[in-house]
Amino acid sequence: MKKIQTRLLCRTFWSLICLANTSAWALDPARPPGGNFDLSHWKLTLPDAGASEIRPAQLVAGYTNASFFFTGPDGAMTFYCPTKGGTTTTATFPRSELRELFNPADDHSNWTGSGTHVLKASCLVSHLPGTGKVVIGQIHGDAPNSRPLIKLLFNDGRIEAVVKADGAKDTKLAFMNVGLNHPITYQIKLTDGKLSVDVNGSNRTVDVFQANPGWKTNTFFFKAGNYCQDNSRNSSAGAKVLFYSLAVNHPTNSSSLP
């Protein structure tokens, strides 16, 4: 009886997620990711040898990659990243990850920390590398040598938000233990420098502008997908993340700076 009740609860929880996001229950397994999700303001970085970038127009036109970026049998936008994948010039780890483009024609036109900026997603992690870690969402700064303001980390089943609140040391915000193949709904919101992170209804906040006023002069962009935190070259392991909804909201008068 307990097993039946647990299954019913899981199905009910997943159904609520789907009903709350029309893009989730409307996913079509026959379509490419760009046919189920609005990717007109995202570019994709692949973990191939050259860490190739796929532009928004290509994603909207139906781009897929059978190894790294494709639609799953249930319609999920699926990101796979092997630990021995290629990396960008400034990164240590490989990624199959979307990077927001505030202006699809300009990689360096981003949004400021004023106003309210929101990234919402529902996803699950189905495979992990040896380290047990994969980043599923970020706010990243665009200043030279800027670090991520926040990385939402799946750490061996637990969810953690790693925040550069003071610009140097990490502030870790702990959430629940989710485990593999279990639904995750998250929201990352920055409102006038106040960071709010919500995971499966549990919320944590940090006033990053108060902790480090230097963030006020920075500009930002969201990231979502699979940033595998493992670069083992002699391993066949990898991380796999499935997305069922993905949405970004900015104020209508949001300013972008070069």
> Average per-residue pLDDT in the chain?
88
Average pLDDT over residues 17-43: 79
* Backbone torsions φ then ψ of 114, nearest 5 degrees: -85, 155
3-state SS, the chain, equals CHHHHHHHHHHHHHHHHHHHCHHHHCCCCCCCHHHHCCCCCEEEECCCCCCCEECHHHHHCCCCECCCEEECCCCCEEEEEECCCCCCCCCCCCEEEEEECCECCECCCEECCCCEEEEEEEEEEEECCCCCEEEEEEEEECCCCCCEEEEEEEECCEEEEEECCCCCCCEEEEEEECCCCCCEEEEEEEECCEEEEEECCEEEEEEHHHHCHHHHHCCEEEEEEEEECCCCCCCCCEEEEEEEEEEEECCCCCCEEC
**What CA–CA distance (Å, rounded) separates 124 from 179?**
9
Position 3, amino acid: K
Query: Is residue 219 scored above 90 in pLDDT?
Result: yes
pLDDT at residue 256 in the model: 54
pTM above 0.85, yes or no: yes
Query: Is residue 118 scored above 60 in pLDDT?
Result: yes
Query: Is residue 205 scored above 80 in pLDDT?
Result: yes
- Kindly indicate the confidence band of residue 144, based on its pLDDT and cuts at 50, 70 and 90: low
**Using one digit for the tens of pLDDT, what is the confidence trace for 62-82?**
999 999 999 999 999 999 999
**235 or 241: whose pLDDT is higher?**
241
Query: Is residue 18 scored above 70 in pLDDT?
Result: no
Q: Report the range of poorest mean pLDDT among 66-70, 149-153, 231-235, 244-248.
A: 231-235
**What CA–CA distance (Å, rounded) separates 102 from 69?**
22
Half-sphere exposure of 248 (CA within 13 A, CB side): 24
pLDDT at residue 168 in the model: 66
pLDDT at residue 254 in the model: 57
pLDDT at residue 142 in the model: 87
Query: Is residue 9 scored above 90 in pLDDT?
Result: no
**What CA–CA distance (Å, rounded) separates 184 from 125?**
9
Structural domains for the chain? 2-257 (2.60.120.200)
Q: What are 153's two structure tokens?
A: 């980390």
Alpha-carbon dihedral of residues 161, 166, 169, 171, nearest 10 degrees? -30
Q: Report the range of poorest mean pLDDT among 7-16, 88-97, 171-180, 199-208.
A: 7-16
**146 or 108: whose pLDDT is higher?**
108
pLDDT at residue 5 in the model: 38
**What CA–CA distance (Å, rounded) separates 182 from 191?**
29
| 201 burial type by CB count under 10 A (0-12 exposed, 13-18 middle, 19+ buried) | exposed
- Kindly indicate the confidence band of residue 165, based on its pLDDT and cuts at 50, 70 and 90: confident
Q: What are 11's two structure tokens?
A: 């199905």
Query: Is residue 12 scored above 50 in pLDDT?
Result: no
CA torsion sign for 164, 88, 93, 40 is positive
